[in-house]
Amino acid sequence: MDHDRAVAAHHAPDSPLQQFVSLSVTLTGFDDAELWGTGLVNTYYALFPSIVGDAVFGDFMTRWNYTHRRGAGDASQLHTLVRQQILDDPDFGPLARNLISLWYTGQWNQLPAAWRNVHGAWANDATFIVSSAAYSEGLVWKAIHAHPIAAKQPGYGSWALPPDGEEPA
Amino acid sequence: MSKPRSSRATKAPPAAAAPAVPPAAPRPISSVHSLRRHLQGALELEHATIPPYLCALYSIPDGANVTAGALIRSVVMEEMLHMVLAANLLNAVGGTPRVHHRKFIPAYPTYLPFSDQSFLVELLPFSRRALDTFLRMEKPAKPHAKPEPGDSPTIGQFYEAILEAFHRLEHHAKKRGETIFTGPRRLQIAGDTWYYGGGGSPVAVTDLASATHAIHEIMDQGEGLDHGIFDGDDQFGQVDELAHYFRFNEIHLGRRYQKTDGPTRPPTGAELPVDWTASYPMAPNPKAADYVGQPAIHRLMVDFNRQYTALLRALDRAFNGEPSALGDAVPIMYDLKYRAQALMAIPSGRGDGTTVGPGFEFAP
Amino acid sequence: MSTPTSDIRHFDAIVVGGGPIGAHVARELSNAHKTVLLLEAGRAGGLTYEGYRSYVTNFHTQVAKDTNSPYPANASAPSPREIDLTQIDPGTPDLNGYQVEFGPQTFASTYLRQLGGTTLHWLGTTPRFLPNDFQLATKYGVGMDWPVTYDDVEPDYCLAEWSIGVSADRKEQEGIGIPFQKGYEFPMLPIPASYSDQVIDKATKGLTVALANRRYPVTVSRLPQARNSIPNPRARPPKPDGRGIDPHGAPYRPVGAVGNPDVGLRCEGNSACIPICPVQAKYSALKTIDKLDRRYVTLEAQTVVTKLTIDDNGRISGVEYLSYDTEGGATTAGRATANIYVLAGHAIENAKLLLASGAANGSDQVGRNLMDHPFSSSWALAPRSMGIFRGPLQSSGIESLRDGEFRREFAAFRIDLSNVGWDIVPDANPPYGDVSRALAKNMFGPALRRHLGDIVPRQVRVGFDLEQLPESQNRVTISREFKDAIGCYRPVIRYGLSDYTWQSMVESMKVSRAIYQRMGIPDADQHYVTSDATQPDERNFRARDGKDYLLNFVGAGHHMGTHRMGLWRTNSVVDRDQRSWDHENLYVVGCGSFPTTGTANPTLTALALALRSTRHMLSQLH
């Protein structure tokens, strides 16, 4: 089962899957338990190379590992490095934003034309929502303290209660 | 994790799992005081079935085992109704339902309160092992089995004892020109104002007739009407449904019952496809304490437990004069489901392919 | 009762259109033991629980989540979609999608051709019209009067509300000028007001605004909604004719999902009424169709009626239709006959069919007077979280500006308060648009999470359903040039707004500004129109104050007026019973019969009129 692979990998701190999770944690601002809780770690880990190919994905992870090692133990240093080495990078920035988009919305966005001109236009690189589950588990809904539209409904009358941190009206 | 003990000789369940009412209850139920203690026990008994059922239900991924999931859900809804009915019965005789306290929640694995402790109930994902336990939990009493107010082999015999006590005690009270139905009417939760979504509508308990009605409702939904397979529920505006045992048996045997089937033979209706591999492999009987070494997981476990405890707090209010608190419980129920499903997707880190799961622990 | 003769099938009644109106007509006729052929152009997919759920998951995976996105496209019975809309260049029709649009403004409303009709994606808000809405000409000298009064329709409002299950509070509705018959109560208690409603309600206590030199209160009240809530234990149903209350009747029992009655017994706050309520707590016509007595009702989906035939006596003699097995595939022609014919296929489709048949158009009013509630919005960022994305799309409105002397000069409006922030705001697309904009700024990690958690829950959107007057140049026509895949006419639409409505849009900004000021929102966080000139329907309007305003609106999906009812055959298509002036055995029912728009979402009123008309139909059939 897919799951066994995931569990085994979970225990190997330097496994490629674990590196993918740690990159995802850094990019999304959600911890690894929250990411695993979506049930989508394996889906997204498999999806990325299926769209941009193993080589591009491998380079992306290599860049992350390099960045991660350099910033180890200093959150603010890591943050700066991620911005410089990944998000501002013309090759890796679009990939990083797409990874955030996947986690936040369940949607893969077609990579920008500039990126495609350099790396080629991959057949699967179209804008699409990965699955109903990917939609429902979009982290943006957790970030805004809400539920995904048409999924995970909060129940009758919940909307009358004050949101977390607010007083009754 | 507490270790199951099954020694019938000592009848000492794991300390943490001790029901609030000691198993050595007087028998038969000899006083209103004792009746109240048994009805509080009934609340504990009904509640004790819910976390195991919910674990099985939540472990089924979206789109898998649709019929089996719907059957389990329907049982859970009725167990919740039974909690409301048990609270109504207890309030009717002047008792005070208490569901928001540490001892109200059993520590799984546990014996069912008031049971003969012949089997342990665990928190398990949807699996053959879970279904085996569910069948034992809902096993109908043999026809003419004698009422058992404590150490009951079946839930039905426990309720038979309560029913018998209601009649006997009210009969004695009447002779003195009194009644055992001394509880305030306003504490009764009735109608479909606050309770909905399957299982039927709760009835107010104000006299012997309504008490009998409520107890029969619990017994019939659980065990079947007159020892048949159906629950005889049409007066609640519901279609005739199978009693719990037989609903679980359908899943167990992978086949639906039909109208002409009886309780002593296997079902002969349509096939019910069950995929026993389609469930999250939750490690049995999760406890927050098992994950102190993994703080991100531990935090989610504790969050779940806090929400679960908030649910019990809402029910406590609902059972003690504030029925609208049942409304407050609804958003909490939904939230618990989403939290439980997330926990079940997180690898447990044990290296055995299992995932985390909800603990259902008291966390005020 | 009829039995088929020869190979032509004959019924007491043929009802064209399996939406809410057609379903109710079919129910009333069949309950009186009349045989009914109910014809639906689209599919019947939603009648099984699994089929309906498949639309929900389909919605999840659609990138463009517009009103018809959950429902599979159907080339044999196409429906308009927002994603097909483009800016109209003067003189050049917009041929994109199903509707052909000549402008000058884009007609941006959609409907759905599928069993259950547009109630599959409707919002489910069900206010009644105000008494003055029926008498606009008499009271304010504009528009025209209806051939029925509020009092004529009141009993049928009660029946309609009990039929579809409306959650509302009588006292609250009386407070905005709606009279009720003695003893009447709504079947369910009102849907609770959202937290954001409560914040706005509290902030606007005592607020008034000046419209045409008079002051009017700005009062927040809970919306009547065809959405399951707690049944009102004190409410008893209206008697069968709607006149009086049946004291022995039982309180209302909420109706759950079709095929899964334990689901959807309460609104569960899916924030998705449009385009699909996942639990079916919102009424859809599927619930009525599911319970039709099939001994009397023959339901045929995937059957597109193409023509009504007319005999020498001016009676309708039959319907011709095309049925299909696969969408866009081959069709089979068929014909059926009946004693009476009822068109309930939606304001646009009814008009199309009448025009294609050369029927009912002695007045030359068929297809004319196309109206909507042009919908304009303002939006703002509140100082604190409004707790959005948790309830039904709307739970409260401001109903106190639906009527007043100002209607002599400009349109009235009904204000709705969004529970999902900037939903209709051009290009906002919350929360996805917020994610895209944050990513474009290279935000990531905890800062991204905090940023979204800060800005999205503070979104406020106030929307205005504006009245529109009947104008004969706003119309739907047909043309041999424009046909769909099976050779049926596509609607050709000409549509624009008059100053009566544009001016009201300007007035509405004052109301928004007053609300936002009370909420402590600085001017910089208030927004009124987009400055993006690519938006359809934008227009530079010189208002009465001499200033120029860039205005913009979208459709409300409230198509009205295309076969209006009236007192005289010279200026209306149907009479007060919605019977064609020209064909005594033809009824044309639905929102197309409305002479004026009022400000209330129209479906409830259309249902009340339809129930009223069924009594006339039955008198013909007896």
Judged by phi (left if over 0) then psi (alpha if -120 to 50, else beta), residue B311 lies in alpha
| Other Cβ atoms within 10 Å of C544 Cβ, number | 12
B347:A7 CB<8 A: yes
Question: In this prediction, what percent of chain C has a pLDDT beyond 90?
Answer: 90
* pLDDT score for C7: 60
Strands C9-16 and C331-343: parallel
Distance of CA C566 to the CA centre of its chain: 21
Distance of CA C232 to the CA centre of its chain: 26
Q: Exposure string (b/e) for C498-536, b if CB count within 10 Å is 16 or more?
A: eebbbbbbbbbbebbbbbbebbebeeebbbbbeeeeebb
CA of C285: how far to CAs of C44, C116, C291, C334, in Å?
A: 11, 5, 10, 26
CA of B101: how far to CAs of B89, B106, B309, B361, B362, in Å?
A: 20, 11, 9, 11, 7
SS3 C270: coil
pLDDT digits (tens, 9 = 90+) for B147-186: 777 777 788 889 999 999 999 999 999 999 999 999 999 9
Among C230, C253, C268, select the one facing B193 at the smallest CB separation.
C230
Reference B147, options B6, B38, B8, B19; nearest CA is B38
Among A6, A33, A38, select the one facing B297 at the smallest CB separation.
A33
Domain with B36, as residue range(s), is: 24-278
* pLDDT score for A8: 42
* pLDDT score for B18: 42
For the ranges B77-81, B113-117, C218-222, C224-228, the lowest mean pLDDT is seen at: B113-117
One-letter amino acid for residue B26 of the chain? P
Give the chain C residue nearest B333 (alpha carbons).
C268
* pLDDT score for B21: 46
Residues B248 and B75: beta-carbon distance below 8 Å? yes
Q: How confident is the model at residue B260 (pLDDT cuts 50, 70, 90)?
A: confident
Give the chain A residue nearest C459 (alpha carbons).
A144
Task: For residue B9, list its beta bridge partners.
Answer: none
Q: Say which CATH number the domain at B64 has.
A: 1.20.1260.10
Instruction: Tell me the count of B-C CB pairs closer than 8 A.
Output: 22
The three-point CA angle B41-B46-B48 to 5° equals: 90
Q: How far apart are CA C444 and CA A28, in angstroms?
A: 6
Tokens at residue C336, please?
A: 């059926």
Question: In this prediction, what percent of chain B has a pLDDT beyond 70?
Answer: 89
Q: Does the pLDDT at position B238 exceed 60?
A: no
pLDDT digits (tens, 9 = 90+) for B13-68: 444 444 444 444 446 789 999 999 999 999 999 999 999 999 999 999 988 999 99
Q: Exposure string (b/e) for C546-577, b if CB count within 10 Å is 16 or more?
A: eeebebbbbbbbbbbbbbbbbeeeebbbbbbb
The three-point CA angle C556-C558-C562 to 5° equals: 140
Per the omega criterion (within 30 degrees of 0), is the bond before C104 cis?
Answer: yes
* pLDDT score for B223: 72
How many Cα atoms sit within 13 Å of C290 on the Cβ side?
Answer: 20
Cα Rg, chain A, nearest whole Å: 17
Strands (E), A62-159: 107-108, 128-129
Residues C494 and C473: beta-carbon distance below 8 Å? yes
* pLDDT score for B9: 36
User: Residue B76: inside a domain, yes or no?
Assistant: yes
Is the CB of A37 inside 8 Å of chain B's CB atoms?
Answer: yes
Residues C435 and A105: beta-carbon distance below 8 Å? yes
Q: How far apart are CA C608 and CA B335, in angstroms?
A: 40
* pLDDT score for B224: 65
Q: Does the pLDDT at position B6 exceed 60?
A: no
Residues B185 and B204: beta-carbon distance below 8 Å? yes
Give the chain B residue nearest C189 (alpha carbons).
B193
Question: Which of A158, A159, A161, A164 is the best residue to mutate to test the B interface, defined by the most B CB atoms within 10 Å of its own CB?
Answer: A158
Residues B203 and B221: beta-carbon distance below 8 Å? no
C265:B196 CB<8 A: yes
Reference C328, options C482, C486, C483; nearest CA is C486
Among B294, B334, B345, select the one facing A39 at the smallest CB separation.
B345
Residues 6+ apart with CB under 8 A from B55: B123, B124, B125, B130, B282, B340, B357, B358
Reference C491, options C181, C113, C33, C166; nearest CA is C113
Q: How confident is the model at residue A13 (pLDDT cuts 50, 70, 90)?
A: low
Candidate CATH numbers 3.30.830.10, 1.10.3720.10, 3.50.50.60, 3.40.50.620; the one for domain C1-78+113-122+283-371+562-597+606-622: 3.50.50.60
B74:C266 CB<8 A: no
Is the CB of B197 inside 8 Å of chain A's CB atoms?
Answer: no
Q: How far apart are CA C608 and CA C601, in angstroms?
A: 13
One-letter amino acid for residue A59 of the chain? D
* pLDDT score for B251: 96
Strands C586-588 and C331-343: parallel
**Average pLDDT of the segment spanning C461-483:** 97
**CA dihedral angle for residue B300, residue B305, residue B306, residue B309, rounded to 10 degrees:** 160
Query: To the nearest whole angstrom, how far is the Cα of B108 from the nearest Cα of chain A?
Result: 23
B331:A154 CB<8 A: yes
Instruction: Specify burial of residue C309 (Cβ count, 10 A radius: 0-12, 13-18, 19+).
Output: middle
* pLDDT score for C4: 41
Tokens at residue B86, please?
A: 């048990």
SS3 B249: helix
Is the CB of C262 inside 8 Å of chain B's CB atoms?
Answer: yes
One-letter amino acid for residue C19 of the chain? G
Tokens at residue C435, please?
A: 């994610």
Q: How confident is the model at residue B236 (pLDDT cuts 50, 70, 90)?
A: very low
Q: How far apart are CA A117 and CA A133, in angstroms?
A: 32
Is the CB of C121 inside 8 Å of chain A's CB atoms?
Answer: no
Q: Does the pLDDT at position C291 exceed 90?
A: yes
Tokens at residue C318, please?
A: 């039959």
Q: How far apart are the first and last CA of chain B?
A: 21
* pLDDT score for B27: 61
* pLDDT score for C613: 98
A146:C435 CB<8 A: no
SS3 C280: coil
The three-point CA angle A147-A149-A154 to 5° equals: 40
* pLDDT score for A143: 97
Query: To the nearest whole angstrom, how far is the Cα of C62 from the nearest Cα of chain A?
Result: 7
Annotated domain spans of chain C: 1-78+113-122+283-371+562-597+606-622, 194-221+372-484+492-557
Q: How far apart are CA B325 and CA B195, in angstroms?
A: 11
CA of C551: how far to CAs of C381, C395, C493, C503, C530, in Å?
A: 20, 26, 21, 10, 8
Angle between the N-to-C axes of helices A41-70 and A16-28, in degrees from 0 to 180, rounded to the nearest 10: 80
How many Cα atoms sit within 13 Å of B150 on the Cβ side?
Answer: 16
Q: How far apart are CA B44 and CA B19, in angstroms?
A: 8
User: Which letter does DSSP use for residue C456 in this model?
Assistant: G
Judged by phi (left if over 0) then psi (alpha if -120 to 50, else beta), residue B152 lies in beta
Number of domains in chain B: 1
ipTM of the complex model? 0.94
Taking the alpha carbons of C18, C21, C22, C28 in that order, is the dihedral positive or negative?
Answer: positive
User: Residue B302: inside a domain, yes or no?
Assistant: no
Task: For residue C476, list its beta bridge partners.
Answer: C493
Neighbouring chains of A at 3+ CB pairs under 8 Å are: B, C
User: Residue B205: inside a domain, yes or no?
Assistant: yes
pLDDT digits (tens, 9 = 90+) for A73-118: 898 999 999 999 999 999 999 999 999 999 999 999 999 999 999 9
Tokens at residue B109, please?
A: 């694995």
Reference C551, options C597, C494, C508; nearest CA is C508
Across chain B, mean pLDDT equals: 87
* Annotation: CATH topology of C194-221+372-484+492-557: Cholesterol Oxidase; domain 2 (3.30.410)
